[in-house]
Amino acid sequence: MIDGLPSRRIALFPATFDPPTHGHMETVLRGARLFDEVVVAVYAEPSKQTLFSAAERLELVQEAVRDLGVTNVRVRSYNRRLTADLAREEGACALIRGLRAVSDFDYELQLAHMNKALAPDVETVVLLASARYSFLSSTIVREVARLGGDVAPWVPRIVAERLGERFGQPHAPVNLPEVLDAEVGADRIAGFMSTDDRVR
């Protein structure tokens, strides 16, 4: 400990990961460059219904992280507890959050202030999504897969395989950015309005 700073900087990256996407994995990689260790925390029982079970989501994230080839990332699940409490248990100095678009900002701001009130020693670090993943969410991936589209460009290999098993073999790839632009909004695709995918 030097000047009140932890000797090892540990960050917690919590999400539902239903399923994990390349956007999630980009955040993991960037967090791994900033911190000595990143703990990816898969929330087991969110308030919304999930496509994959808690055990399946944990396995998908573990496999996706393994494919990244990083050595300072650990994956775990958690349930029925505050993320702030989990951060303290893990000795984390920061919570990593991904910000995709302006529409995410209000929610993330509220969440950051609440977590700061619950755990004053834990900072929230927001990583802006790269342009190529700024439109991407688990909700969009699930819906494209359900409608027969090929989601392989936007998810880890194991996720594409499991979605194929769940919904059948994909049809021709879908150009998501063009579809989203046509729908005028980062959360609309194929005529539907997606639900909030930011359960933590």
The predicted pLDDT at position 84 comes to: 95
| 188 DSSP β-pair partners | 193
**CA nearest neighbour of 133 among 97, 192, 177:** 177
User: Looking at the predicted structure, is the pLDDT value of residue 191 above 50?
Assistant: no
Highest mean pLDDT among 100-109, 125-134, 168-177, 191-200: 125-134
What φ, ψ does residue 111 adopt, rounded to 5°? -65, -45
Catalytic annotation, pick one of 138, 142, 162, 198: 138
pLDDT, average across residues 27-32: 98
Q: In the chain, where are the structural domains located?
A: 10-131, 138-193
Would residue 113 show up in a list of annotated catalytic residues for this protein?
no
**Distance, CA of 68 to CA of 22 (rounded, Å):** 11
Would residue 30 show up in a list of annotated catalytic residues for this protein?
no
Helix ranges (DSSP H) in the chain: 22-34, 54-68, 83-90, 102-118, 138-146, 157-167, 176-183
Summarised one tens digit per residue, pLDDT across range 89-144 is 999 999 999 998 888 899 999 999 999 999 999 999 999 999 999 999 999 999 99
Would residue 24 show up in a list of annotated catalytic residues for this protein?
yes
Q: Give the mean pLDDT of the chain.
A: 85
Catalytic annotation, pick one of 24, 30, 97, 142: 24
Query: What is the token pair recorded at 164?
Result: 């194929």
The 3-class secondary structure across 37-57, one letter per residue, is: EEEEEEECCCCCCCCCCHHHH
Q: Does domain 10-131 have CATH number 3.30.70.360?
A: no
Would residue 194 show up in a list of annotated catalytic residues for this protein?
no
Catalytic annotation, pick one of 100, 142, 162, 198: 100
Q: Provide the whole-model pTM.
A: 0.82
Q: Is the peptide bond before 19 cis (omega within 30 degrees of 0)?
A: yes
The 3-class secondary structure across 178-194, one letter per residue, is: HHHHHHCCCCEECCEEC
Summarised one tens digit per residue, pLDDT across range 39-66 is 999 999 887 889 999 999 999 999 999 9
User: Looking at the predicted structure, is the pLDDT value of residue 2 above 70?
Assistant: no
Give the pLDDT band of residue 170 (cuts 50, 70, 90): confident
Catalytic annotation, pick one of 48, 81, 132, 157: 48
